[in-house]
Every structure is written in C-alpha cells, then in structure tokens.
C-alpha cells in the first residue's frame, strides 16, 4: 500500500504531498497521522528553510473524508476527530519554516482549512474553494471559523460558511483567500520558485518574522512571546553567570548584561 502522505526533502526545500488522488486527497485518520509526523520531522530539521504543501492528482484536498467521520459518536467526533485535526493543523501553521501551499485543485472544507495553515497560497486557475459543511448539517471544524477569520477576515468566512458558496480561484484571490493565481498545472512550479526565494533569506530572521506575524494573528501568540523572550535572554552574560553559579553551588554575581 502506498503512503497516504509523501515527504521529500531536496536541499533546503521540503515538499509534503497528499497522496490519495482517488479520493481527491480527502483526509482520513491515516493521512492526519502522517501529516502530523511530517510536520514534527520538518520542524526538527534545521536544514529545511521552506516547505511546500500540495496534492497529487486533480485535487488539492476535498476536506475530511465523510467515511472517516460520518458515523462517529458525538464525543468521538469532538474529542477525537476535531481535536486531532486541530493538533495537526496547528503544527503545520506553526512550522518554523515558511509554508507555501500549491493549491493544484479544489480545496473544500477541511481542504481550505488546510490551505489556510500556509503562509503563502498559490492557486491553479481551475481550482474551486469553499466551506460547504453546513450543506450537510455540519460546521467547519478544523479552525474554519477561527484561523480563517484571523487570516482572511470575518466577511469572507461568513459568506463561504453561511451560504456554502464555492468560489473560483479568481474570486478567491479577490476575497484574499489566496495570494496568487496561476495557470492550470503551474501551482507547484510557482510554489517551488517562492520556496527557493524564501530559502535564500536569513533563516533565523525568517523564523522570527513568521513568529511575529503569527502572533499578530493570535496564532499561538503566548508561545511566540516566550520563545522570543527566551531567545533574547539566552544571549546575556547574566544567564551564563547564573548557570555557572548553579553548577558551582555559589551565589550568582549578575551585571545586567
């Protein structure tokens, strides 16, 4: 059986590919587990300076596979399926490296929520985007009413979620859902070009810039603040003195530097 998610690393650029094309890359439990594992691996690899997220075949991601969640008990739905999705999507949104989504086909429901975890979204012209969940009596569950509002604005999300309207790539661009529209078949190539550009930037500067931007959108703002503060303090002579004093069992002599 082929892997539901492929991870390839070439130099400083990694590519995550959803590989369930016969289901338009609809997400099931195995894919979610694999996505989380890929995010963990990439975040631990300091050599990776940019990440691309795309789908195999004609679709980017058709959302959560109804066969995987349609018959779940309410408690399993909320505490299992929805909560697990949040954990995985949060990992992707908070990757240290810039994440670029190559939306090569339709991104619907959880697929649009997945695309929203990216820092930059390049969309093929033939792709359609939307939040159709209310049409089957469900609500967006993987931060469709939270991260999407922070990144795209409440007006756009209200329209998509409350009407179920499916929009074209050009309309998505006008609504701010994607950053760039390219011709059919060109999303991955354009994403690779952007990833190559990002990979040439100062890696620490890009990490910090992304954390600051995420914090401005309330994306794990508390952690970002403490990460940056801890990094700053770690450069001080006082910290080195404090650690040395602890090891030597003496009183630290701090200088304020």
Same domain, 85 and 54: yes
Query: Which of 174, 199, 224 marks a domain boundary?
Result: 199
Query: Which of 161, 180, 199 marks a domain boundary?
Result: 199
* Catalytic residue check, 29: no
Active-site hit among 3, 10, 56, 133: 133
In a domain, 132, yes or no: yes
Neighbours of 136 (CB within 10 A): 10
The model carries a pTM of 0.90
Same domain, 81 and 133: yes
In a domain, 257, yes or no: no
Q: What's the rounded Cα separation, in Å, for the pair 135 and 49? A: 39
Number of domains in the chain: 2
Same domain, 35 and 131: yes
Neighbours of 240 (CB within 10 A): 11
Same domain, 92 and 38: yes
Same domain, 51 and 166: yes
* Catalytic residue check, 219: no
Active-site hit among 22, 113, 217, 237: 113
Strands 5-10 and 13-18: antiparallel
Which range of residues forms the domain containing residue 65? 5-199
In a domain, 254, yes or no: no
In a structure prediction context, what are the per-residue pLDDT tens digits for the chain, which is 257 residues long? 579 999 999 999 999 999 999 999 999 999 999 999 999 999 999 999 999 999 999 999 998 877 766 666 677 666 767 788 889 999 999 999 999 999 999 999 999 999 999 999 999 999 999 999 999 888 888 899 999 999 999 999 999 999 999 999 999 999 999 999 999 999 999 999 999 999 999 999 999 999 999 999 988 887 878 888 888 888 899 999 899 999 999 999 999 99
Give every CB contact of residue 185 below 8 A, 6+ residues apart in sequence. 104, 124
Same domain, 119 and 164: yes
CATH number at residue 34: 3.90.226.10
In a domain, 225, yes or no: yes
């Amino acid at each position: 059986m082929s892997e539901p998610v492929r991870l390839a690393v070439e130099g400083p650029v990694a590519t995550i590919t959803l590989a369930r094309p016969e289901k338009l890359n609809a997400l099931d439990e195995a894919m979610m587990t694999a996505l989380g594992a890929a995010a963990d691996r990439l975040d631990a690899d300091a050599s990776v300076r940019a990440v691309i997220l795309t789908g195999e075949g004609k679709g980017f991601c058709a959302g959560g596979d109804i066969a995987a969640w349609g018959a779940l008990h309410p408690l399993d739905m909320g505490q299992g399926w929805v909560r697990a999705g949040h954990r995985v999507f949060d990992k992707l949104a908070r990757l240290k490296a810039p994440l670029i989504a190559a939306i090569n086909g339709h991104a619907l429901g959880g697929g649009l929520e997945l695309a929203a975890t990216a820092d930059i979204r390049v969309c093929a012209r033939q792709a359609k985007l939307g939040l159709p969940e209310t049409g089957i009596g469900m609500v967006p569950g993987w931060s469709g009413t939270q991260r999407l509002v922070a990144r795209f604005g409440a007006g756009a999300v209200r329209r998509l979620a409350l009407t179920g309207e499916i929009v074209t790539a050009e309309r998505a661009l006008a609504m701010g859902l994607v950053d760039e529209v390219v011709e059919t078949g060109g999303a991955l190539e354009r994403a690779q070009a952007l990833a190559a550009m990002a990979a040439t930037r100062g890696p620490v500067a890009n990490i910090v810039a992304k954390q600051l931007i995420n914090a401005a959108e309330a994306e794990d703002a508390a952690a970002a603040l403490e990460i940056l503060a801890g990094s700053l303090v770690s450069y001080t002579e006082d910290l080195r003195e404090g650690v040395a004093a602890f090891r030597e069992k003496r009183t630290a002599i701090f200088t304020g530097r």
